[in-house]
Amino acid sequence: MVMRRAPTLLLFLVIFSCPSPSLFLRAQDEQNVNLNYLISDEEMLDVESMSLAQIQAFLSRGSLAQYRARDIDGVERSAAEMILNASSAFDISPKFLLVLLQREQSLVEDDSPSKDQLDWAMGYAICDDCSKSDPRLQKFRGFAAQVFYSAQRIRESYLSDLTRRGFTEAGVGPGIEAVIDGTLVMPVNNATASLYTYTPHLNGNKNFVAIWTRWFYSEYPTGALLQDETSGGIWLIQNGSRRPITSRAAFFSRFNPNTLVQVPPSALDAYPIGQAITFPNYSLLRSPRGTVYLIVDDTRRGFTSQEAFKTTGFSQDEIVDVSFEELKPYAEGDPITVSSVHPDGILLQDKTTGGVFYVENGFKRPIFSKEILVNRFAGRPIVPAELADLNAYERGEPITFQDGTLIASRGTAEVFVISEGARRHIADEATFVAYGWKWNQVVWTDERSVTIHPLSQPLTTALETLKKPSEIESAIN
């Protein structure tokens, strides 16, 4: 890695020119990295993005979790404490500092870093032609000094200059064109301008984006419920898109609030917007042609006749007139006839054994544990039933936990997230933290209630399921 900013030793020379538009487009499109927009200002400055405990857990990827040394004030502290203190002192996201540590010396994921890696942890104050023994650089040697002074430089020099005059000491700023390694770039925000000033090379900044994406742009599994921590809006992640949930009734009728995850707006921006979820489960919707449908999740089931409607016990007053466009998101399900049994579902409990079943459309589906019952049917009444009455229904597949639920067997340490009916093992604590989950969201249950969900692909942080970290970073060089 090349660089780095001895405070007055080197300045990056920006070459201004007017290349062709095609060069400008390549700068944006090359290897799927937008070279004009590396990360957002909000992400760079989100000083509250990680707590001390979260930083400590994140450092468990390598040996920094055990590292302790004297900070610049002479007090012995952990690496996590030093990172948090620098973040707080200069209002820079701890995530930003963690990515710099990884990009410069691979420190976050290195199990046995050398003294040289620790001494120049952030690549600060060194460059291609600098000698690390230069007396002028010794103030910046050491892990604590590297973290502190790099954060200070970014805040008190780069960001200060950008606010005051619109460009950094290197002449880089939003809206200013520059040729870097033969490619035209034009930063669109202060975060991107700061990164090009810190590292005036394309590969280094593409590496930064690769690491940031791998760590913090997690691809949430289908079924995840995400709440924008700024606006409060709630979204369902489904098949790679985010579906807005536009009413409280729809939310509480379809989803378990305990699975909700708070995320920054940037975590949602990566997903295209899908069809809105507006109507609560078991809504009655009437099309312009007069057909009445029962809505169950993403399916609409049409009543074949007025007689079929009456047999269900629904009231005409519950029907809402809607357009064909509003019905379009719902897949066509089996029609409801006069012989349909409990199309809106009912909970029946065997008077003899105490076992609870969810009965719907002529099938009885066993519920293996109280945890599943609460997760899927909290607040719904349970009706006692004779064994003979239950035997009238065909036995179906057991009810599983709702997608997006975190589950674990009592007495074990493995935590899973349910997605598309299957369980995905969460690889480690760092992954758990990266996705924004809280330990009080984990539902502890019996082993059978866990293993009824087929085992699917393990869940790691973004992109790691496809490639190893080293492969991701080397792929863009």
369 and 292, same structural domain?
no
The pLDDT assigned to 216 comes to: 78
Let me know if residue 290 belongs to a domain: yes
Q: Which is higher by pLDDT, 217 or 83?
A: 83
104 and 82, same structural domain?
yes
The residue among 453, 452, 281, 298 whose CA lies nearest residue 379 is 281
- Is it the case that residue 76 has pLDDT exceeding 80? yes
Q: Is 232 exposed, middle or buried (0-12, 13-18, 19+ CB in 10 A)?
A: exposed
Question: Cα separations (Å) of 161 from 124, 164, 167, 352, 409?
Answer: 19, 5, 6, 77, 54
366 and 325, same structural domain?
no
Domain hosting 374: range is: 346-395
Torsions phi, psi for 68 (to 5 deg): -140, 145
386 and 299, same structural domain?
no
The pLDDT assigned to 434 comes to: 79
Let me know if residue 444 belongs to a domain: no
Q: How many Cβ atoms from other residues are within 10 Å of residue 161's Cβ?
A: 20
The residue among 16, 365, 23, 348 whose CA lies nearest residue 183 is 23
Q: Label residue 9 by pLDDT band (50, 70, 90).
A: very low
89 and 39, same structural domain?
yes
166 and 49, same structural domain?
yes
143 and 98, same structural domain?
yes
379 and 302, same structural domain?
no
Alpha-carbon distance of 73 to 333, in angstroms, equals 68
Q: Label residue 15 by pLDDT band (50, 70, 90).
A: very low
Q: Which residues contact 390 (CB under 8 A, 6 or more apart)?
A: 348, 350, 357, 364
The pLDDT assigned to 433 comes to: 83
For 165-174, 346-355, 430-439, which range has the lowest pLDDT when averaged over its residues? 430-439
Let me know if residue 403 belongs to a domain: no
308 and 173, same structural domain?
no
Nearest-10 crossing angle of helices 202-216, 190-198: 120
pLDDT tens figures, 386-401 = 999 999 999 999 999 9
362 and 322, same structural domain?
no
What's the whole-number mean pLDDT along residues 410-434? Answer: 91
When divided into structural domains, the chain yields a total of 3
Domain boundary residue, one of 165, 199, 216: 216
- Is the pTM higher than 0.85? The answer reads no
Let me know if residue 261 belongs to a domain: no
Domain boundary residue, one of 216, 244, 274: 216
The pLDDT assigned to 449 comes to: 98
- Is it the case that residue 477 has pLDDT exceeding 60? no
The pLDDT assigned to 127 comes to: 67
Alpha-carbon distance of 477 to 465, in angstroms, equals 20
Let me know if residue 405 belongs to a domain: no
Q: Is 223 exposed, middle or buried (0-12, 13-18, 19+ CB in 10 A)?
A: buried
Let me know if residue 29 belongs to a domain: yes
- Is it the case that residue 266 has pLDDT exceeding 50? yes
Candidate ranges 19-33, 256-270, 458-472; pick with highest mean pLDDT: 256-270
Torsions phi, psi for 292 (to 5 deg): -100, 130
Residue 419's DSSP bridge partners are 422
Contact in structure between 27 and 183 (CB atoms under 8 Å): yes
Let me know if residue 477 belongs to a domain: no
Let me know if residue 354 belongs to a domain: yes
The pLDDT assigned to 32 comes to: 59
For 56-60, 177-181, 202-206, 210-214, which range has the lowest pLDDT when averaged over its residues? 210-214
189 and 105, same structural domain?
yes
351 and 324, same structural domain?
no
Q: How many Cβ atoms from other residues are within 10 Å of residue 185's Cβ?
A: 26
Alpha-carbon distance of 366 to 373, in angstroms, equals 10
Q: Label residue 85 by pLDDT band (50, 70, 90).
A: very high
What's the whole-number mean pLDDT along residues 45-73? Answer: 92
The pLDDT assigned to 254 comes to: 92
